[in-house]
Amino acid sequence: MTITRYPSGSSGIQPTIPVADNYVNASSVASTWYTLTNVTNGKGILSRISAFSTATSNLSLQITITVDGTAYTITQSEANNARGFVHGASTNDSSKNIDFWCNVYFSTSLKIEVRQTEGTKILHASSDYSLS
């Protein structure tokens, strides 16, 4: 995946409106994409995406980020407890989520979709971005 990063001020994007999107689904269906964020006419910067599922591990979590019409899908190649912050009451829950901190600029559109690939499970997701 290649994402263009601009030094401060060179992209013409000066984000000033912070936005946080949250998605909660108590019974998400395996391999079904759910829309977390959908900016159809705006520019800004994406700073964070998190996802959590009650599936066996974060291997079943997938995130697709579509930036200005180009889609990138993020998957885990191995279960990794360090990939996310602990979610919930059990320390075992840290293996069931993903946190991505990023600086991804978008000029016209941003869409973020999430899914889990393991039965019917709880699925939570959130994103933080700023619009200009």
Q: In the predicted model, what is the mean pLDDT of residues 36-62?
A: 87
User: Which uninterrupted H or E stretch holds 19?
Assistant: strand 17-29
Q: How far is CA 3 from CA 65, 72, 105, 120, in A?
A: 11, 9, 8, 33
Mean per-residue pLDDT of the chain: 80
What CATH number is given for 17-131 in this structure? 2.60.120.1390
- Residue 46's pLDDT is 94
Indicate the range of 32-41, 60-69, 71-80 predicted with least confidence: 71-80
Rounded Cα–Cα distance for residues 132 and 13 (Å): 6
- What proportion of the chain, given as a percentage, has pLDDT over 90? 48
Q: Where are the domains of the chain?
A: 17-131
